[in-house]
Chain A
Amino acid sequence: MGLGRRDLLKLVGGGAAGFFLTPVPWRLIDGVAIRTESWPGVPDPPRGEVRTRYTTCTLCPAACGVRARCVVDQPVSLAGVASHPASAGVLCPAGLCGHHLPLLPNRLRQALARKGDNFQPVGIDAVAGAVATALADMRQNGSAERVAVLDARPGRTASLMYRRWLRAAPNGTYLLAPSAEATAPMGIDIARTGTVLSFGAPVLDGWGTPGRVLEARKTFRLIQVETRQSRTALLADGWLPIRPGTEAALALGIANVLIEEKLYDAAAARNASDFAAYAALAAQFPPQRAAQLTGIPAQTIIAAAHDFVGHGPAIAIAASDPGGGPLGEDEQIAIAALNVLSGSIGREGGFLPRGEASRPAGFEEAALAPEQGIAEVPDASIRVLIIDDARAAGTWCWSAIERKLAATHIVVAMTEFLEGAAQHADFAVPAPAYLEAGEDAPAPPDVPAAMFSLAGALLKPPPEAVDGAAFLNQVAGGGPALADVLKQRVAAIHASRRGEVFHYADASRTAVRDVKSAADLWKALEEGGCWIDHQPTPHEKPLFAILGDAPDRVLEAASGRLPADAQFPLALVPYGWRGAAGGAISPIMTKLYQESDLRPGGDTIELHPDTARKYGVADGHVAIVQTRCGSCQRRVRVDESVMPGVIQAEVGPSASGNCRPEALLNACGVAGDGTWRLARASLRRA
């Protein structure tokens, strides 16, 4: 018996040993190895049919063509549309991850009403009701107060609808965003431009239509006038590091050289009614004086002037930087005048008047409220303010808008996120996000030819979301839906029989006159396409005044914007990058400002080593930037490329997330014309 048991044990033991000599257990272990891949924290990408769909980017005025790779209906990646007439197959970082925006956790999904310092849910009809009663009240006692729509993305069909609606409303006022690029009166024929003299415009870092500009970069020379060694300055053929706020002086200095040396386009000058006055003004800024003011050596200024007209066609631009705000009107005049001297206005390779896609009947200019800048509206005059796309307004100075509001007022923000201006509103109304709104994209600001493209919705908006038009209809109790007006507009374009359709899918083009019906045109645009008019032909140059009514203001501007100030010895130069300067951004953008040091981030300031030493701060310290209008706390980065005596502050997202741009922007203070480019500041370690 005992013996039997022993045998049994032997058998089992031997069996076990034998088993381990076979591949079986090892195979099993191999399998286990693979299994360790499935780990709790790792999400499983959804599978499904992969399709390619097309739309147009509406995150900035560039209106780039978008090719979306979708799993079933969900876009999983965005890319440019190759050989797109404007964007030339390019998307910017923000555009590449635009499909994340609708899914952001802080998405606004229902209307909110302000209660004290925080918001409470409310029905949209209640919001509309509040606006309606306010309007009724204004009508009743015919008050002089205004109803205003502040449009962050002008030039859309929706903008036209606002303007028509405002026309009917009491003192309806249509306001343009302080730094609206879309409203440039003329386009640039960049493909044929010979020289670009840029006053702080981020030409290579998100200006106009990036694809188009970068493609043309091979052919134009770039002279960058900028305090900051921006990305554009780094890649420019010449960089003129200019003392903050003295752009006008440089412009006049260059003008001086050109006029003295008779290097300007006399023919073009003859069209200017007040050229003599302008020349006289320029005469006050010989290179030496300009050098004193701008800190750029006289020789360099002279050389720049020669450079400028040396390789025509030459244009001078002073577009805005999304964080730094636009240059003051007067600087703009001084700079624009250079285009008269280079004769680039209305000629190939220069500025060409922008065409516009035909409008449907009832939207003639006469039937619409005029476009106005915030500066043009008297203070304390707005009773009802409706802000469209408040998110894009992330870099406005609220103080500029606030001072326009009447004592009792309602501010309604149509927005996807409770960001930017929306935080100051009385009501926040959820709007469809990017890729959710079936709307049109305005023609890019720098493209002379008229363009029209649909930003077809790839995703369903949240049930509560309403677009601006629908909201106004609700207020007014009826009116056409945006979609219908869009259809009308497409019909109008079809009727005009002008231009051609570019199809995103295969980069083919069809002349509009070959498109059978308006419906077909609509289909073509909705499936992914854009309509583009012929390149406008140069026309007779009209008579115009260079300085207009502002010769002394220009002179004042040219004498320097930043008077010395013992209490605030430093110059605060804010700057931002298109697509991230505003409120919400995709979390993937952390790659740029948190997981790398590619972008300093919105919680930092950059100083020259000497400046830092002088004010007792070092790399990594936290410093307080103080101006007359406010202050903000930021981490110091010491950088040899910064101009001594200057504080560079990025307006944008930050790893710490605790830094909102407002603090900085408000500290910058706002000029009468609603710009905030510069401020005097002092610095101390926190």
Chain B
Amino acid sequence: MAANKSARYGMVIDLDRCTGCGACMVACAIENNVPPANAKATERTGITWMRVHRLGNGRPFPDSRAVFFPILCQQCGHHTPCVAVCPQNAVEVDAATGIVDQMPQRCLGCRYCMAACPYHARYFNWWDPAWPAGMEKTLNPDVAPRMRGVVEKCNLCHGRLHRAESKAAAEGRRDIAANDYVPACVEACPAKAITFGDLADDQTEVAQLARSEGAFRLLEKLGTESKVYYRSERPWVHQAVKSGIGKEPQRG
């Protein structure tokens, strides 16, 4: 995969392997300096770039089944909903990587992009980012914390991409090595449910998985060409995804 030849980084998440442990969410928060919840925060005001949802089959005990659905920015590749709406170009699609990048330093917090995102993958800083006293020491030096009142979201661990790029540069390589750039959630997943890589390169495992039987994307018909694929062998999961909205979730 290459940073200069235009790559299309994406991932395939195997829903049949995801145990819903939440390691990805924790690893993501640590990697990207996402602050702990304010005491008043709820599951609707928190910040979870990576968030694992639970989708039930809507049938009662003992036939009820559920699957865990990790949702992160789907990195839409075609009329990316959030990019077009941002009034001050705070969202950009990086041509080299295909990553949809949010620039918090330019965001004024109008939240239009959040209304635009059908995957609810964007999060607003409702509070000042606060770590318990002394815990600022544990912040990742590669990522700047965001201020109150701006929107943020998953950028496939930009810090790690830069690290990989500078490493490649230091070693005089033009392309970054596949295993040098792995987002925190992918690295952390105990079940190895997430496969990450360059979708543009047919040789990569991720590209093949994305084309494999049982792979699908959310809201495919919107034509957003998202670069996050899911796969499951379970027919009811495909059913539930096709039938779209309209089912109350089992939890919450």
Residues of A within 8 A of B (CB): 33-34, 36-37, 39-48, 50, 71, 74-77, 79-80, 90-93, 96-97, 99-100, 103-105, 204-206, 210-211, 214-215, 217, 229, 231-232, 234-235, 239, 241, 586-592, 594-600, 608-609, 637, 639-644, 655, 657
Q: Give the segment of B4-12, B50-58, B77-85, B218-226 that binds chain A.
A: B50-58
- Whole-angstrom distance from the CB of B68 to the nearest CB of chain A? 8
Once bound together, how far apart are the Cα atoms of A599 and B52, in whole Å?
Answer: 10
Task: Judge whether A43 and B41 touch: CB under 8 Å.
Answer: no
- Whole-angstrom distance from the CB of A249 to the nearest CB of chain B? 18
Known: A91-B23, A591-B29, A591-B46. A37 touches B251 (CB 8 A): no
Q: Give the segment of B94-102, B127-135, B169-177, B202-210 that binds chain A.
A: B127-135
Chain B residues within an 8 Å CB radius of A104: 132, 135
Point out the residue from A39, A76, A239, A595 that lies within 8 Å of B46, measured CB to CB. Answer: A595
Task: Judge whether B30 and A588 touch: CB under 8 Å.
Answer: yes
Task: Judge whether A597 and B251 touch: CB under 8 Å.
Answer: yes
Task: Judge whether B66 and A234 touch: CB under 8 Å.
Answer: yes
Task: Judge whether B133 and A105 touch: CB under 8 Å.
Answer: yes
Point out the residue from B21, B68, B252 that lies within 8 Å of A92, measured CB to CB. Answer: B21
- Whole-angstrom distance from the CB of B185 to the nearest CB of chain A? 11
Whether, in the assembled complex, B22 has its beta carbon less than 8 Å from a beta carbon of chain A, the answer is: yes
Taking A595-B46, A596-B46, A640-B60 as known contacts, 10 extra A-B pairs with beta carbons closer than 8 A to each other, sorted by chain A number, are A50-B141, A77-B30, A90-B190, A587-B131, A588-B30, A596-B52, A597-B54, A637-B251, A640-B61, A641-B56
Whether, in the assembled complex, B146 has its beta carbon less than 8 Å from a beta carbon of chain A, the answer is: yes
Whether, in the assembled complex, B136 has its beta carbon less than 8 Å from a beta carbon of chain A, the answer is: yes
Looking at B21, B105, B146, B148, the one whose CB has the most chain A CB atoms below 10 A away is B21
Known: A598-B52, A641-B56. A45 touches B143 (CB 8 A): yes
| Beta-carbon nearest neighbor of A643 in chain B | B61
Chain B residues within an 8 Å CB radius of A80: 188
Once bound together, how far apart are the Cα atoms of A50 and B47, in whole Å?
Answer: 27
Interface pairs A-B: 4 shortest CB-CB: A595-B46, A41-B128, A587-B36, A45-B139
| Beta-carbon nearest neighbor of B65 in chain A | A234
Chain B residues within an 8 Å CB radius of A598: 20, 22, 25, 51-52, 54
Whether, in the assembled complex, B243 has its beta carbon less than 8 Å from a beta carbon of chain A, the answer is: no
Known: A596-B52, A641-B56. A34 touches B22 (CB 8 A): no
Once bound together, how far apart are the Cα atoms of A620 and B144, in whole Å?
Answer: 37
Chain B residues within an 8 Å CB radius of A204: 19, 191
Known: A43-B139, A103-B132. A596 touches B51 (CB 8 A): yes
Once bound together, how far apart are the Cα atoms of A44 and B53, in whole Å?
Answer: 32
Task: Judge whether A229 and B66 touch: CB under 8 Å.
Answer: yes
Once bound together, how far apart are the Cα atoms of A104 and B29, in whole Å?
Answer: 17
Once bound together, how far apart are the Cα atoms of A92 and B190, in whole Å?
Answer: 7
- Whole-angstrom distance from the CB of B187 to the nearest CB of chain A? 6
Task: Judge whether A595 and B47 touch: CB under 8 Å.
Answer: yes
- Whole-angstrom distance from the CB of B133 to the nearest CB of chain A? 6
Chain B residues within an 8 Å CB radius of A46: 136-137, 139, 141
Task: Judge whether B30 and A41 touch: CB under 8 Å.
Answer: no
| Beta-carbon nearest neighbor of A203 in chain B | B19
- Whole-angstrom distance from the CB of B123 to the nearest CB of chain A? 9
Interface size class of B (residues with CB under 8 A): 35 or more
Once bound together, how far apart are the Cα atoms of A552 and B132, in whole Å?
Answer: 55
| Beta-carbon nearest neighbor of B249 in chain A | A597
Task: Judge whether A205 and B19 touch: CB under 8 Å.
Answer: yes
| Beta-carbon nearest neighbor of A73 in chain B | B137
Task: Judge whether A235 and B19 touch: CB under 8 Å.
Answer: yes
Chain A residues within an 8 Å CB radius of B30: 76-77, 96-97, 588
Chain B residues within an 8 Å CB radius of A241: 61-62
- Whole-angstrom distance from the CB of B237 to the nearest CB of chain A? 12
Q: What's the count of A-B pairs with C-beta under 8 Å? A: 213
Task: Judge whether A93 and B141 touch: CB under 8 Å.
Answer: no
Chain A residues within an 8 Å CB radius of B165: none
Whether, in the assembled complex, B239 has its beta carbon less than 8 Å from a beta carbon of chain A, the answer is: no
Task: Judge whether B188 and A91 touch: CB under 8 Å.
Answer: yes
Whether, in the assembled complex, B145 has its beta carbon less than 8 Å from a beta carbon of chain A, the answer is: yes
A-B contact list, 10 entries, CB within 8 Å: A43-B136, A45-B140, A77-B184, A590-B46, A592-B22, A597-B252, A598-B51, A640-B58, A641-B56, A641-B64
Whether, in the assembled complex, B200 has its beta carbon less than 8 Å from a beta carbon of chain A, the answer is: no
Point out the residue from A79, A234, A655 that lies within 8 Å of B187, measured CB to CB. Answer: A79
Once bound together, how far apart are the Cα atoms of A458 and B19, in whole Å?
Answer: 31
Known: A103-B135, A594-B42, A637-B252. A93 touches B21 (CB 8 A): yes
Chain B residues within an 8 Å CB radius of A231: 19-21, 68
Chain A residues within an 8 Å CB radius of B31: 77
| Beta-carbon nearest neighbor of B251 in chain A | A597
Once bound together, how far apart are the Cα atoms of A74 and B129, in whole Å?
Answer: 21
| Beta-carbon nearest neighbor of A595 in chain B | B46
- Whole-angstrom distance from the CB of B202 to the nearest CB of chain A? 25
Point out the residue from A100, A235, A591 that lies within 8 Å of B138, measured CB to CB. Answer: A100
Chain A residues within an 8 Å CB radius of B105: 34, 36-37
Task: Judge whether A590 and B144 touch: CB under 8 Å.
Answer: no
Chain B residues within an 8 Å CB radius of A590: 36-37, 41, 46
- Whole-angstrom distance from the CB of A434 to the nearest CB of chain B? 13
- Whole-angstrom distance from the CB of A209 to the nearest CB of chain B? 10
Whether, in the assembled complex, B195 has its beta carbon less than 8 Å from a beta carbon of chain A, the answer is: no
Looking at A92, A637, A639, the one whose CB has the most chain B CB atoms below 10 A away is A639
Task: Judge whether B23 and A42 touch: CB under 8 Å.
Answer: no
| Beta-carbon nearest neighbor of A235 in chain B | B19
| Beta-carbon nearest neighbor of B40 in chain A | A655
Whether, in the assembled complex, B48 has its beta carbon less than 8 Å from a beta carbon of chain A, the answer is: yes
Point out the residue from A34, A93, A597 that lies within 8 Å of B26, measured CB to CB. Answer: A93
Whether, in the assembled complex, B147 has its beta carbon less than 8 Å from a beta carbon of chain A, the answer is: yes
Task: Judge whether B148 and A39 touch: CB under 8 Å.
Answer: yes
- Whole-angstrom distance from the CB of B53 to the nearest CB of chain A? 8
Task: Judge whether A105 and B132 touch: CB under 8 Å.
Answer: yes
- Whole-angstrom distance from the CB of A556 to the nearest CB of chain B? 27
Task: Judge whether B61 and A608 touch: CB under 8 Å.
Answer: yes
Chain B residues within an 8 Å CB radius of A103: 132, 134-135, 137-138
Task: Judge whether A41 and B61 touch: CB under 8 Å.
Answer: no
Task: Judge whether A588 and B26 touch: CB under 8 Å.
Answer: yes
Interface string of B145-172 (1 = CB under 8 A from A): 1111000000000000000000000000
Chain A residues within an 8 Å CB radius of B51: 596, 598
Point out the residue from B39, B59, B190 that lies within 8 Å of A91, measured CB to CB. Answer: B190
Once bound together, how far apart are the Cα atoms of A100 and B131, in whole Å?
Answer: 10
| Beta-carbon nearest neighbor of B16 in chain A | A235
232-252 of chain B: CB within 8 A of chain A: 250-252
Known: A587-B36, A640-B60. A96 touches B134 (CB 8 A): no
Point out the residue from B22, B53, B138 that lies within 8 Å of A599, measured CB to CB. Answer: B22
Chain B residues within an 8 Å CB radius of A594: 37, 41-43, 46
Task: Judge whether B59 and A640 touch: CB under 8 Å.
Answer: yes
Once bound together, how far apart are the Cα atoms of A597 and B138, in whole Å?
Answer: 26
